[in-house]
Amino acid sequence: MSKSRENNIKRYSLLLFIFVILSILFILPLFKWHYLPFGDDMDFNIDRVLELKYNFMHFNFYPQLSTHTFRMGAYPLNIFYPWFTLIPFAIFEIIIPNHMWGFIIGFAFYAFIGLVISYSVVKKITCNKVQAFFASVCYIFSEYLSLMHLEDLI
């Protein structure tokens, strides 16, 4: 392996590590206050995640009808609302038994993905790594994605 390739791998590994730390900082207030931001649709989205979790636990990986939540009726919710963005939340709900922590880790996951994507896009546009780093950090910690608007990520 060439020296420049080795340096690039080290540099990007360090960048990803910093993004992981920033993702943890993004959700730190939620851990400190044991708080989930309940906005207009958060109850609805929690039920959607729990439905997906129960379906995955019963090996139904293409759920169309909601039969475990929403008053146990066969509600065709996933036909009208996309559920692919809820998959990380459902996986964390399966792995972590505490509902609140599963959601918080899901928010951290999406903060990490947002940092990586915004860094990549700004770097591609500006060809400047420092600018891309600060733009991605400003984007994730902006008021638009503040803790009061986390339910919009789902």
Q: What pLDDT was estimated at residue 49?
A: 82
Q: Which two tokens stand for residue 40?
A: 């207009």
**pLDDT tens track for 122-144:** 999 999 999 999 999 999 888 76
Q: Torsion angle of alpha carbons 136, 7, 25, 91, nearest 10°?
A: 90
Q: How far apart are CA 114 and CA 4, in angstroms?
A: 27
Instruction: Report the mean per-residue pLDDT for the chain.
Output: 81
pTM: 0.79
Q: What pLDDT was estimated at residue 145?
A: 67
